[in-house]
Amino acid sequence: MFFGNSQPESGDTKWRRQLDKFVKANQQELAALFWGLWLANGDSQGTVGIDLQPTPHFVYCPKEQIENLNIRVENRLQEILGIVENHKPDVEVVMIGIGKGEIKLIQFAPEPAPPICFEEVGKDVDGLLDVLEERMSEHFSS
């Protein structure tokens, strides 16, 4: 019995693997950015997203748009909506990855917690956006 992917990776799934690697490598900075944006806006703007097209950048995904998309895809995003609605921002990071006409939930509980990450990183939201978007451009161009 073989465990693993014997199929060659398609371009449609490559972005998901790359996003997972990026998130893992940048957890503290992403948690700091998430917390800084939460302090500034709460959830009034929606959920923070990473849009990979045309070049990687951060966006807000308004709840109404996620709900409308859920309706269009026959409620297959119901679980994502529940997680977005019930997450605890001082404990976990919840973002949405957008790529290749698909979305992917990004969820992790960093150590230390997001508020402490924000303090320890020592950058404001604009500085974090600049650093992370530059890292994304490098990461996703390879």
How do residues 80-94 score in pLDDT, each as one tens digit? 999 999 999 999 999
Q: Look up residue 74 and give its two tokens.
A: 């026959």
What is the per-residue burial (b if ≥16 Cβ within 10 Å, else e) of 57-85?
A: ebebbebeebeeebeeeeeebeebbeebe
For the entire predicted model, the pTM comes to 0.88
Region 41-70 average pLDDT: 93
Question: In this prediction, what percent of the chain has a pLDDT beyond 90?
Answer: 82
Q: Mean pLDDT for the chain?
A: 90
Helices marked H in the chain: 11-25, 27-41, 63-72, 78-86, 114-121, 125-141
- The model's confidence at residue 2, banded by pLDDT at 50, 70 and 90, is very low
